[in-house]
């Protein structure tokens, strides 16, 4: 069914532009609010939704737009961001109608993400919608687009493995640790280093419910800062030997030029924990952890290459889920289009009813002073019956032509010219 969908998408993403361009066209929340108001006022749109993340900036515009109006909006965006990228075809994509709907559903489900299936985009879509909805700049079309898009995302997530498995090395390390220990609730993790990688690892471990976090760093103040953020404990690097006896998992990510942990440092500490496994993850280049550690009993050492193999395997598994996810998305797009067809017809029928009822009441008012009350009641009943019969014919023709877009548009044009009913 080729139902007319008055929706236009203008976007720039990681697929069409490098980060140097994406950062220049990104919209802050304050800028999004400004864009909402100014575009609605200037171009008489029915609704607008903006989605701006590190990987994409997209505008979903509800309402019929001519090519000329669309070009003016792109030029306006250029002026607003002091750039020319919104009119550069190699960087900007424009989708309309069903294509725009499909793209939104793909984005919400993580199918269009740089890392397929990543869950963060769903929250970003929710935040974008709530910003627009709270600003009262969404209409029925955009409200339903968001609702159906979220349903599609939930269906994809529950029916496929598109979001399963670690696809970052820090998360892969956490997943491996969970497989070895089953539960992390009573385990202690030691992070060596206090940079971005250590921070990500801390976030992942907290999410998995680890019992205790220790952070050791060459600069104690940085270790202390990170420990405060994640309710952990900070240590100097020269305390490593002592705290190893309390540790189940070690993740090391420093910029050191020599091994931070050697066999000679670790082996004596194992006597204090003869039956407890020690899980070591080396995320540094050059490596932080002595490869000979892997020769020790109950010690499991993984480096970046090991984790990258896990990540690549998980990414490949996610790619294999795309056809299943695609079928689910297609079904939800069909459901959205069906809703829109019904909604559009009901709106037209409502306008027709109001038009005929206003006409009927105006004529009855003229007769009211000239006829007795009993006669007016009969005429009112007669005119209501007549209007309903006329409406019935129009309603039947609308339903008959709704699956033929060309005939449907022609009939809407006929109604518009005959009764001044908006399409």
Instruction: Give the list of residues 6+ apart from residue 91 with CB closer than 8 angstroms, or none.
Output: 12, 16, 17, 21, 85
Please count the other Cβ atoms lying within 10 Å of the Cβ belonging to residue 130. 12
One domain, residues 208 and 349: no
What pLDDT is recorded for position 95?
98
Set 42, 54, 382, 390: catalytic member: 54
Q: Encode pLDDT of 332-381 as tens digits.
A: 999 998 888 777 677 777 778 888 888 888 878 777 767 676 677 788 88
Confirm whether 327 is domain-assigned. Answer: no
Do residues 179 and 298 share a domain? yes
Q: Of the candidates 163, 181, 197, which is a domain's last residue?
A: 163
Mean predicted lDDT score pLDDT of the chain: 88
Asked whether residue 27 is domain-assigned, the answer is yes
CATH number at residue 231: 3.40.50.720
The burial of 417, by beta-carbon neighbours within 10 Å (0-12 exposed, 13-18 middle, 19 or more buried), is given as: exposed
Query: 166 falls in which pLDDT band (50, 70, 90)?
Result: low
- Known catalytic membership, residue 54: yes
Question: How many other CB atoms are found less than 10 A from the CB of residue 103?
Answer: 20
Terminal CA-CA length for the chain? 18
pTM greater than 0.85 (yes/no) = no
Fill in the DSSP letter of residue 18. Answer: -
**Beta partners for residue 300, in sequence order:** 279
- pLDDT higher than threshold 70 for residue 405: no
Q: Is residue 321 part of a domain?
A: no
User: Do 182 and 289 have their domain in common?
Assistant: yes
Half-sphere exposure of 16 (CA within 13 A, CB side): 19
The radius of gyration of the chain's CA atoms, rounded to the nearest angstrom, is 31
Cβ neighbours of residue 97 closer than 8 Å, sequence gap 6 or more: 4, 5, 7
Q: Residues 388, 394, 399, CA angle at the centre, nearest 5°? A: 120
Residue 42's pLDDT is what?
93
pLDDT at 369: 67
Q: Looking at the structure, do residues 361 and 268 belong to the same domain, yes or no?
A: no
* 287 shares a domain with 148: no
Query: Which range of residues forms the domain containing residue 403?
Result: 345-419
Q: What pLDDT does residue 2 have?
A: 62
Same domain for 45 and 185, yes or no, is no
**Does 13 have pLDDT greater than 70?**
yes
Structure tokens at 262: 């050697």
On whether both 147 and 273 belong to a single domain, the answer is: no
Tell whether 214 and 149 lie within a shared domain. no
Looking at residue 349, its pLDDT comes to 76
Per-residue pLDDT tens digits for 285-326: 889 999 999 999 999 999 988 888 878 888 888 899 999 999
- Judge if 153 and 180 occupy the same domain: no
Last residue of a domain, one of 113, 135, 163: 163
326 within some domain: no
Q: How do 47-52 and 93-96 pair as beta strands?
A: unpaired
> Residue 124 pLDDT more than 70?
yes
Average pLDDT over residues 196-202: 85
259 lies in the same domain as 393: no
Confidence bin at 259 (pLDDT 50/70/90): very high
What's the CA gap between 341 and 149, in Å, rounded?
A: 17
Indicate the residue among 263, 283, 308 that finishes a domain: 308
- Please give the tally of structural domains in the chain: 3
User: Are 158 and 31 members of one domain?
Assistant: yes
Measured distance CA(167)–CA(310) in Å, rounded = 8
What CATH number corresponds to the domain at position 114? 3.30.460.30
Pick left, alpha or beta for residue 334 (phi over 0 → left; psi -120 to 50 → alpha; otherwise beta): alpha
259 and 188 in a single domain? The answer is yes
Instruction: Provide DSSP, 133-191.
Output: HHTT---HHHHHHHHHHHHHHHHHHHHS-TT-S--SHHHHHHHHHHHHHS--TT-EEEE
């Amino acid at each position: 069914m080729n139902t007319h969908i008055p929706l236009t998408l203008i976007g720039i993403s990681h697929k069409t532009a490098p980060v140097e361009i994406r950062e220049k066209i990104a919209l802050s929340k304050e800028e999004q609010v400004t864009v909402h108001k100014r575009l609605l006022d200037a171009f008489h749109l029915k609704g607008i939704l903006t989605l701006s993340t590190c990987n994409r900036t997209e505008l979903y515009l509800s309402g019929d737009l001519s090519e000329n109006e669309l070009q003016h909006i792109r030029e306006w965006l250029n002026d607003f961001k002091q750039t020319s990228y919104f009119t550069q075809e190699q960087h900007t994509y424009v989708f309309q109608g069903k294509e725009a709907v499909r793209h939104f559903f793909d984005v919400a489900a993580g199918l269009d993400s740089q890392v397929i299936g990543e869950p963060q985009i769903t929250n970003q879509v929710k935040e974008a919608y709530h910003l627009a909805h709270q600003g009262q700049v969404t209409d029925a079309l955009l409200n339903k687009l968001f609702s159906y898009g979220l349903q599609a995302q939930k269906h994809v997530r529950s029916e496929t493995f598109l979001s399963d498995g670690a696809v970052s090395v820090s998360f892969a390390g956490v997943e491996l640790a969970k497989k070895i220990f089953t539960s992390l609730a009573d385990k202690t993790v030691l992070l060596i280093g206090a940079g971005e990688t250590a921070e990500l690892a801390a976030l992942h471990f907290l999410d998995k419910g680890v019992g205790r976090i220790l952070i050791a760093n060459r600069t104690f103040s940085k270790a202390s800062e990170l420990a405060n953020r994640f309710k952990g404990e900070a240590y100097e690097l020269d305390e490593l030997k002592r705290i190893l006896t309390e540790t189940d998992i070690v993740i090391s990510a420093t910029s050191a030029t020599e091994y931070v942990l050697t066999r000679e440092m670790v082996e004596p500490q194992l006597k204090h924990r003869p039956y407890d496994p020690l899980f070591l993850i080396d995320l540094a280049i050059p490596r932080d952890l002595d490869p000979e550690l892997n020769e020790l009993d109950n010690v499991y050492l993984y480096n970046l290459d090991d984790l990258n193999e896990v990540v690549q395997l998980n990414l490949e598994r996610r790619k294999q889920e795309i056809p299943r996810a695609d079928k689910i998305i297609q079904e939800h797009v069909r459901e959205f289009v069906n809703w829109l067809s019904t909604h559009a017809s009901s709106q037209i029928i409502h306008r027709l009813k109001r038009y005929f009822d206003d006409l009927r009441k105006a004529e009855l008012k003229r007769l009211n002073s000239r006829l007795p009350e009993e006669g007016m009641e009969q005429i009112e009943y007669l005119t209501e019956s007549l209007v309903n019969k006329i409406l019935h014919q129009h309603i039947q023709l609308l339903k008959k032509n709704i699956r033929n877009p060309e005939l449907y548009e022609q009939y809407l044009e006929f109604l518009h010219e005959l009764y001044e009913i908006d399409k």
